[in-house]
Amino acid sequence: MSSDSASSPPPPPSPRLGRLLLTGAAGGLGKVLRERLRPLARVLRVSDIAELAPAADASEEVVRCDLADKAAVDALVAGCDAVVHLGGVSIERPFEEVLEANIKGAFHLYEAARRHGLKRVVFASSNHVSGFYKQTEPIDAHALRRPDGYYGLSKSFGEDVAQFYFDRWGIETVSIRIGSSFPEPLNRRMLSTWLSYRDLTTLIEKSLFTPSVGHLVVYGVSANRDVWWDNRAAERLGFVAQDSSEAFRAKVEAQPPVAPDDPNAIYQGGAFTAQGPFD
Ligand code: NAI
Ligand code: 15L
Low-confidence ranges of the chain (pLDDT < 70): 1-6, 12
Closest CA to 156 of 102, 201, 91, 222: 102
Q: 13-274 falls under which CATH superfamily?
A: NAD(P)-binding Rossmann-like Domain (3.40.50.720)
Closest CA to 158 of 93, 204, 110: 110
For ligand 1, say whether the CB of 176 is within 6 Å of any of its atoms.
no
- Ligand 2 atom nearest residue 269's Cα: 12
Residue 74 · residue 108 · CB < 8 Å:
yes
Query: What are the catalytic residues?
Result: 151
The per-residue pLDDT for 6 is 56
Please give the Cα distance from 223 to 219 (Å, whole number). Answer: 12
Give residue 101's Cα distance to chain centre.
15
Average pLDDT over the chain, rounded to an integer: 96
Residue 276 · residue 199 · CB < 8 Å:
no
Among protein residues, the one with the nearest Cα to ligand 1's atom 34 is: 90
Taking the domains of the chain in order of start, what are their residue ranges? 13-274
The per-residue pLDDT for 114 is 98
Percentage of the chain lying above the pLDDT 90 cut: 95
The per-residue pLDDT for 216 is 98
For ligand 1, say whether the CB of 129 is within 6 Å of any of its atoms.
no
- Ligand 1 atom nearest residue 26's Cα: 9
The per-residue pLDDT for 71 is 99
The per-residue pLDDT for 2 is 42
Please give the Cα distance from 224 to 1 (Å, whole number). Answer: 45
pTM of the model: 0.97
Out of 32, 89, 90, 194, mutate this one to test ligand 2's pocket (max ligand atoms within 8 Å of CB): namely 90
Q: Which ligand is nearest to the CA of 193?
A: 2
